[in-house]
Structure 1
Amino acid sequence: MTIRRLCAVLRVRGKTELLLVILFAAGFAALPVLALLPSLWGFTVAWAVTYATDEALHAKAPGFVRRLATLQLSRTMRFAVRTVMLLALADRTDAPDAVLVTGLAVLSAHFLLVMMYSALHHAIRRRRVLPVIVRNLDMSGIDVPEPPPAYLYRRFLRKLLHLDLPAHIGLIIALASGTWYFAYAGYALTIGAALAALAALLGQFRSVRAMPGRDAVIGEVNRQLAGYRPEVALYFSFAAVSRDFMYQVNMWIETLEQLDRRPVIVLRERASFRFLGRTRIPVVCVPKADDLAELELSGVRVVLYPGNAGKNVHMLRIAEAKHVFIGHGDSDKLASSNRVSKVYDEIWVAGRAGRDRYRRVRHAISDGAIVEVGRPQLAPVRLHADHVPGPVPVVLYAPTWEGWSDDDCHTSLIPMGVPLIERLLAENVRIIYKPHPLTGKRSAEAAAADRTIRELLRADEDRHTADDARPRLQEIRARLDELSGRHEGDDAQQLRDARAPGPDGAAQWQELHAEWHRLFWASRSGARHHVILEQLPTLYECFNQADLLISDVSSVVADFVASLKPYVLTNAQDLPDAEFRAAYTTAGGAYLLDRACTRLPEILRSVREPVHDPMAPERRVLKEYVLGPDRPTSMERFNTAVNDLADKALAERAEDLVTPIAEPTAQPIL
């Protein structure tokens, strides 16, 4: 318990990271003491421990290292402390003044060269930032210089600071042997290597002067867009963007690829561009509103918005297009029927439940603006009738995140997540734990509960993973990233590497995607539990593995309804069943779990003994109400909605061109 409490206080995961932190702190605390004693061999050991643990923490606990920087204990400061303590040790052991003065001068010059290198690196990086980044457009017509070599450009500070090692080692050897030649040799190596690195980067700086300017980049992107002639745009922005938010876009990619109209994806933040999934659709990332205004999007007739964000206004200004809010899932949360949606021409929902949800916003959203299009993404979800359960029930626990407020309908993690997992562990079930990507972003309590659940499940998960499958899984992931068009490097490198997708990429991606999932589940067939935190395996593949879902009020539940499998909604506030079901549509086919989880054994009986599944008829009724009818398919309905709205926009545009704008009638002055 003490170790767990220490891990929580220091915000590290497990005993290994805690041991590294303790060694790191002890090493730095010992440096001044051993320097002043003086104790050469004790200092050398502490010095080596600080170096080794510093590097290990960067690899294993980067969050802890970032927190050190907020306390003004940055990497540069830690290197400076080691240097000062070493010089203090040399002074206390009566090293010659010439050695001390030269060492101080050399190591000071080393830090000065690091500062100059950092300034030069910043200048190169700033020049290589472009107004537009693209994927799946052929940008070979514009000349973009290659980036500096990785050994000069990436993680440069880490490499440069370590150039003090020759000087440190030389001085330590000199202090031990009394032969001062070693100190001077180390000094020379440190300063020579730093000067060589700076000279090499200066040569790279000359090449970035050939970077194309803003007008040239936007002009070439517009030429490519004019050749492609996009008709439908998916537009996405999020203020606190990271990979955690990109699920809102990635869930729509396959649907867009099946449209009759030519789609394009428009993103606004560079970070989101890097975490976009595989697609053959042209993608344009434009961080600045002024640059977005200059893009050639005049042929776009329908703009789709998966999220509400302030930057949406930069696209909403296009009067010739029709603007549609499609969201990123049908949920019973209040945020899923937002008054802000009134700014869109239409709001597309999965089924009649979505239409009824918007009726809560009285007099704000017209019923005629609501269009039921189904959920095309749910095609991979297998039906309960096609599912073959294993000998041990599989329970998927997929809690939602804590949200932007403390709304009662949000995550169950804080009030009951850990007790729920403990109760499940007491049952003979396998657990798949897949938290929301944003879990713990706002609430420390949610983050702590999430860490505790991972600790409870992960030991068993890791112990049963087949090591022989990992190389192939990594190989497939690398190839999937390549087929996704993901490229390492900065804006300029990604623009330089951008090409139109090949004809066979989509089929190969689908085959590798299916192979990855087959191999993943087969390699973990001996595992009792799973913690799923990455994009793979997908949520819907987890659906297909599960016999039962336990979740909170969220779009995950609405999507799971498509499988017709039994599912559980957490009732953390212990509301009366009738009141809870009246408040949340998806509760109509759910088993309700109280905060103390006393109903859990009876709920699990519905999986172990399917004849005792009284909610099965309710789920069949609810499926059509929430997701719409099975025929025509969701993809057909969505495609029809796009075509109809695009035709409407085109007809209105043609009417505007032939109908003159009436001059205002002068009113007499009374």
Structure 2
Amino acid sequence: MLIRRLCSVLRVRGKADLLLVLLFGAGFAALPVFALLPSVWGFAAAWAVSYVADEVLHSRAPGFIRRLSSLQFTRTMRFAIRTVSLLVLAGRTEVPWTVLITGLVAFCVHLAFTMLYSAVHRGIRARRNLPVIVRNLDMSAAGIPQQPPALLYRRFLRKLLHLDLPGHVGLLAVLITVELSARKPSADLWNAAYAGFALTAGLTTLALAALLWQLVRTRRMPSPDDVIATLNAQLADYRPQVALYFSFAAVSRDFMYQVNMWIETLEQMDLRPLIVLRERPSFRYLSRTWVPVVCTPKADDVAKLDLSEVRVVLYPGNAGKNVHMLRVAEAKHVFIGHGDSDKLASSNRVSKVYDEIWVAGRAGRDRYQRVRHAISDRAIVEVGRPQLAPIRLHADHVPGPQPTVLYAPTWEGWSDDDCHTSLIPMGVTMIEKLLQENVRIIYKPHPLTGKRSPEAAAADAAVRELLRADNERREGARTDSAVAAVQPRLREIEERLAELTGKLTGDDAQQTRDARVPDRDGGTEWQELTDEWHRLFWESHGPVRHHIIRKRLPSLYECFNQADILISDVSSVVADFVASLKPYVLTNAHDLPDEEFRAAYTTAGGAYLLDRDCTRLPEILRSVREPAHDPMAPHRRTLKEYVLGPDHPTSMERFNAAAIALAERSAAELAEDAAEGRHGLVIPAQRVDAPGLAGAADTAGR
């Protein structure tokens, strides 16, 4: 428990990283001690340990490094401490004053030029800071110059500070030689120290001069208005009709799933799609797509975009910056959300600001109707869930040698008032009892688990430790050689998938400079590689090994396809799993009466309910071990249509029809306003250009 607590406080992953932290601290604490004694050998050892531990922790424990920076013990400070300690050691060992002063001057030049380099680098970044970042549109006409060489530009501080190594090594080598010879050193011996000082100061000077030349080159950067003009020319050629708009202040991989889940749907629409993002880091976690993507961090720049032909704007989340797009009167605004669940977020009164709210099925409509005096029934459209096509039906599932339980708890929420996660009150108990039932467990927590609540983070860590320990005990789970055999191919696939996402190297300006219209055929290769990755992953790990899923792959829906039964909380995961018609369990952490719980949560209508102490678990698992004993099966079939809508027409067809109907309505209203002179517009009444679905709009459920 103490070690786990220390790891949590220091933000390291385990005992190995904790040992590195202790070595790191001991090395730095010993530096001034050995410098003052003086002890050349002790100092050399502490110096080496501090250097190596520092570098390894940067890659293994970035959280710990960030914690040090927040305490003002930055990388620059650490390098300065090593240098000062070395000079103190040299002074205590009677090094000639000329050597000591030369070293002091060289290291001062190094640190001063490092500070100046940082300032120049900041100036270059400021000049290369464009008002927009673009993907999948040809921005070559913008005239954006090439990014400075990566050697000078990326991770520059780490490289520059390490230029003190020649000076350090030269002086330490002389001190060690003197220690070994036990006699007064000759004047020639100090030449190695002088050479090290010269290399440190000279290389730093050359690096600064090279970067100053790059600063001069950035004067050729186009103006912000020129960049937006180039973008608008591309948008005018593309003529987007529907836009997906997303903003989230704390952008990370954990939030971008809200956009990524809609990409394939956008690509299948008959209207021309566009993705509009508001935070620069969004690009880092955006999945593969041929859809044009525009990121505009500033609200003023959003207003400058040529979105004159956009008739429908889709919002996967409620965020403050949505108002910057909602004010566009020429378009219709639709809340589509990022999942359909019984949480309060799926029937938020804020949704009243949108022209329409698209839900999966009748359950979503009824959910909003329960929010009295908030949402008009006419504003709700049932479109299904187009993303669920990859989910295999229960009838097509082939069971393994052991029942596979997918445990996918939701996160703790923004406050304790809406905390729906089962991890804190019953997660550990549930896993312990599942392990006693001899089942295979796939544990896939919500990406935000533990972000707000330390209790949730601790429960998550405990669950992962239980599963790891049980994997070690299981003889049938010893598939290390098989896993190792496929790792090279898995990495190769992941690298190719990263290439297919369209992610370009360089800073934002460089990525915009290199943006081009992509080849739409990449989707076929993407799907084939993704399928191969999943096949190799599951086959190599065997049919009984537990899994802890924290990364993008394997995907949630592939975990659905592996599972015989789902255990989850009130969340959109449950509503999506309903599409499979497999048994599923909802956690009743507050031990509400069954009737009360089912009345409160729609998806509980086809669920087995699990009490806080998990006493019902053996009986629930019987529905998997003995398929004939599955009393909730007929309820799941009824619930599927209620929650997700009918199978025909398909969800994609209904989604398309709803978009076309709304776009045509928007165009008609604009034409009417123009005729009456309300907006000073002249827009002829015409149908939206969406071949193949002109008549499908009538099928959109309202």
User: Which TM-score tier does this pair reach, normalised by the shorter chain?
Assistant: over 0.9
SS of 2:542's partner is: coil
Q: CA deviation at 1:60?
A: 0.5
Q: CA deviation at 1:464?
A: 3.3
Report the more deviating stretch, 425-434 or 557-566. 425-434
Paired with 2:22 and 2:303, the residues of 1 have a C-alpha distance of 53
Paired with 1:317 and 1:14, the residues of 2 have a C-alpha distance of 49
For residue 74 of structure 2, what is the aligned residue in structure 1? 74
Gaps of 5+ in 2: 179-188, 680-702
For residue 97 of structure 1, what is the aligned residue in structure 2? 97
1:587 aligned onto 2:597: no
Paired with 1:67 and 1:427, the residues of 2 have a C-alpha distance of 42
Paired with 2:520 and 2:423, the residues of 1 have a C-alpha distance of 45
For residue 230 of structure 2, what is the aligned residue in structure 1? 220
Paired with 2:666 and 2:243, the residues of 1 have a C-alpha distance of 14
Report the more deviating stretch, 551-560 or 530-539. 530-539
Q: CA deviation at 1:646?
A: 0.7
On the 8 A contact 1:243/1:271 being kept in 2, the answer is no
Q: Which amino acid aligns with 1:464?
A: T
Q: CA deviation at 1:526?
A: 6.0
Gaps of 5+ in 1: 663-670
On the 8 A contact 1:129/1:490 being kept in 2, the answer is no
Q: Alpha carbons of 1:529 and 1:323: their partners in 2 closer, same or farther (altered >3 Å)?
A: same
Of 296, 300, 307, which aligns to 1:286?
Answer: 296
Q: Alpha carbons of 1:225 and 1:449: their partners in 2 closer, same or farther (altered >3 Å)?
A: same
Of 569, 573, 590, which aligns to 2:590?
Answer: 573
Deviations 1:26-61 (A, max 9, x none): 111111221121111011111100101101111111
For residue 665 of structure 1, what is the aligned residue in structure 2? none
For residue 497 of structure 1, what is the aligned residue in structure 2? 514
Q: CA deviation at 1:422?
A: 2.2
1:261 aligned onto 2:271: yes
Q: CA deviation at 1:9?
A: 3.5
For residue 548 of structure 1, what is the aligned residue in structure 2? 565
For residue 166 of structure 1, what is the aligned residue in structure 2? 166
Q: How does 1:119-518 map to 2 (within 5 A)?
A: 119-178=119-178, 179-407=189-417, 409-458=419-468, 460=471, 464-465=479-480, 466-518=483-535
For residue 87 of structure 1, what is the aligned residue in structure 2? 87
Of 641, 649, 667, which aligns to 2:658?
Answer: 641
Q: Alpha carbons of 1:611 and 1:484: their partners in 2 closer, same or farther (altered >3 Å)?
A: same
Paired with 1:83 and 1:456, the residues of 2 have a C-alpha distance of 46
Report the more deviating stretch, 404-413 or 37-46. 404-413
Q: Which amino acid aligns with 1:407?
A: D
For residue 563 of structure 1, what is the aligned residue in structure 2? 580
Count how many residue pairs are aligned between Structure 1 and Structure 2: 662
Q: Which amino acid aligns with 1:363?
A: H
SS of 1:606's partner is: helix
Give TM-score scaled by structure 1 length.
Answer: 0.96
Q: CA deviation at 1:311?
A: 0.7
For residue 698 of structure 2, what is the aligned residue in structure 1? none
Q: Which amino acid aligns with 2:213?
A: G
For residue 640 of structure 2, what is the aligned residue in structure 1? 623
Q: Alpha carbons of 1:527 and 1:40: their partners in 2 closer, same or farther (altered >3 Å)?
A: farther
Report the more deviating stretch, 299-308 or 592-601. 592-601
Deviations 1:553-587 (A, max 9, x none): 10000000000111111111121222111111111
On the 8 A contact 2:144/2:221 being kept in 1, the answer is yes
On the 8 A contact 2:401/2:544 being kept in 1, the answer is no
On the 8 A contact 2:598/2:605 being kept in 1, the answer is yes
On the 8 A contact 1:393/1:547 being kept in 2, the answer is yes
Q: CA deviation at 1:430?
A: 1.3
SS of 1:141's partner is: helix
Paired with 1:582 and 1:527, the residues of 2 have a C-alpha distance of 37
On the 8 A contact 1:142/1:220 being kept in 2, the answer is yes
SS of 1:264's partner is: strand
Paired with 2:256 and 2:674, the residues of 1 have a C-alpha distance of 39
Q: CA deviation at 1:227?
A: 0.5
For residue 63 of structure 1, what is the aligned residue in structure 2? 63
SS of 2:25's partner is: helix
Q: CA deviation at 1:356?
A: 0.8
Q: CA deviation at 1:484?
A: 1.5
SS of 1:252's partner is: helix
Give TM-score scaled by structure 2 length.
Answer: 0.92
Q: Alpha carbons of 1:66 and 1:523: their partners in 2 closer, same or farther (altered >3 Å)?
A: same
**RMSD (Å) for aligned C-alpha atoms:** 1.6
Q: CA deviation at 1:315?
A: 0.6
Paired with 1:356 and 1:319, the residues of 2 have a C-alpha distance of 29
Q: Which amino acid aligns with 1:540?
A: Y
Q: Which amino acid aligns with 1:559?
A: D
On the 8 A contact 1:409/1:552 being kept in 2, the answer is no
Deviations 1:514-560 (A, max 9, x none): 12221222222266111111112111111111111111110000000
1:106 aligned onto 2:121: no
Deviations 1:73-129 (A, max 9, x none): 111111111111111111221212222222122111111011011111111111111
Paired with 1:401 and 1:228, the residues of 2 have a C-alpha distance of 40
Q: Which amino acid aligns with 1:607?
A: V
